[in-house]
């Protein structure tokens, strides 16, 4: 039961992450191309995007380490688990890409914060957020239900 609840929350949070990612990308690219001054709203969107990613990572790690019957197979027989495409996806690819995506969002926020010129702030955020979103989209399990608990 705890597994299902955590999985449902993890599933719905991905959509919040993607919405915040879209908002962050729109703000950073429009700010960059329109030579807008970096503002408090830009900083806050980055913080919300980062916080949502952190929460998603925490839920994912709880699923991965403690709750998921799928990943439990990994800890019992890693070699056999690597023979199964779905298990390998969650054991290696999903975990690795999402860890890197979380790091990229944090680096983007940090580099934007440290820059003194708005154009550099936007450029840094746009570059790192874009790479993070690309990894998120690659690593999302599109073969699983998109709205778990309602459909699937």
Residue 151 has pLDDT above 80, yes or no: no
Residue with token string 């991905």: 14
| Distance linking the first and last C-alpha atoms of the chain | 15
State the Cα–Cα distance between residues 45 and 126, nearest whole angstrom: 12
What's the mean per-residue pLDDT of the chain?
93
72, exposed or middle or buried, with CB in 10 Å at 0-12, 13-18, 19+?
A: middle
Q: How far is CA 115 from the centre of its chain?
A: 24
- In the structure, what pLDDT confidence band is assigned to residue 109 with cuts at 50, 70 and 90? very high
Model pLDDT for residues 48-100, shown as the tens digit of each residue:
999 999 999 999 999 999 999 888 888 888 888 889 888 899 889 999 999 99
pLDDT computed for residue 150 by the predictor: 60
Q: What is the mean pLDDT of residues 118-136?
A: 98
Residue 147 has pLDDT above 80, yes or no: no
pTM of the model: 0.92
Contact status, residue 109 vs residue 125, Cβ threshold 8 Å = yes
Contact status, residue 9 vs residue 69, Cβ threshold 8 Å = no
Q: Which residues, other chains included, contact 143 with Cβ-Cβ below 8 Å and sequence gap of 6+?
A: 86
Q: What is the mean pLDDT of residues 122-151?
A: 89
Task: Enter the tokens of residue 82.
Answer: 């690597």
9, exposed or middle or buried, with CB in 10 Å at 0-12, 13-18, 19+?
A: middle
State the Cα–Cα distance between residues 113 and 11, nearest whole angstrom: 30
Contact status, residue 141 vs residue 94, Cβ threshold 8 Å = yes
Residue 53 DSSP class: H
């Amino acid at each position: 039961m705890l597994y299902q609840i955590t999985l449902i929350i993890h599933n719905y949070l991905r959509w919040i992450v993607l919405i915040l990612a879209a908002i962050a990308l729109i703000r950073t690219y429009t700010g960059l191309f329109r030579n807008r001054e970096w503002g408090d709203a830009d900083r806050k969107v980055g913080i919300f995007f980062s916080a949502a990613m952190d929460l998603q990572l925490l839920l994912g790690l709880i699923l991965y380490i403690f709750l998921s019957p799928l990943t439990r197979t990994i800890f019992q027989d890693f070699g056999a688990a690597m023979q199964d495409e779905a298990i390998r996806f969650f054991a290696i690819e999903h975990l690795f890409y999402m860890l890197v995506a979380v790091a990229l969002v944090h680096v983007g926020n940090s580099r934007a914060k440290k820059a003194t010129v708005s154009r550099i702030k936007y450029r840094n955020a746009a570059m790192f957020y874009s790479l993070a979103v690309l990894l998120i989209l690659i690593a999302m399990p599109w073969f699983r239900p998109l709205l778990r608990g309602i459909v699937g």
